[in-house]
Amino acid sequence: MRSSPIPLLLVVVASNFMTSCRHSSQGAPEPAPSRGQPASSAAGAPLTANPPQATPRPTSKQGCDACGGQWAVHGIEQVEGCICRTKDGGKACRDGTECEGSCLVKDDAKFETVEPGPPPRGHYVGRCADYDTTFGCNRMIPNGVRAKGPLAVEEAAKTFCVD
């Protein structure tokens, strides 16, 4: 009897999604992070994320401990792996390029108005993520956003969802 190609297709799609997505938050442990490519905004447009790190992700608990990381199951790929702690976690950021991981925008983030508008235009002050990948849905400041000049509040940060 021949098996259905659907389960295999789901595995391939999930695997491709995991390798094409990117992640990192402060305070309480953030949703676990993972390296990869950028996710999409809520509108579906691709967002620029930080380039992959030069150092490969550790593949053992000992290597993970060495980077100050969390060795656990992260995301939907039910396999233990490592997310490494960033050196700049908690630092203020205004562009995704300023962080090792992501530049996260929390609900209480300051919006610096440069042009009063209407609508007011400016930039968010985010915080660099504690880990190199952040899972879940988070508002982030994409790479290169400052080069676009002052933006309206809804354009200055985008939502990334990483499973």
CA distances from 156 to 30, 49, 100, 121, 153 (A): 22, 14, 19, 9, 5
pLDDT at 61: 93
Contact 57, 101 (CB under 8 A): no
Domain for residue 156, yes or no?
yes
Q: pTM of this prediction? A: 0.64
Residue 154's domain spans which residues?
6-54+84-162
pLDDT digits (tens, 9 = 90+) for 45-101: 333 344 444 578 899 999 999 999 999 998 888 889 999 999 999 999 999 999 999
Domain for residue 65, yes or no?
no
pLDDT at 77: 85
Say if residue 119's pLDDT is above 60: yes
Domain for residue 134, yes or no?
yes
Domain count, the chain: 1
The percentage of the chain sitting over the pLDDT mark of 90, rounded to a whole number, equals 53
Domain for residue 50, yes or no?
yes
Domain for residue 63, yes or no?
no
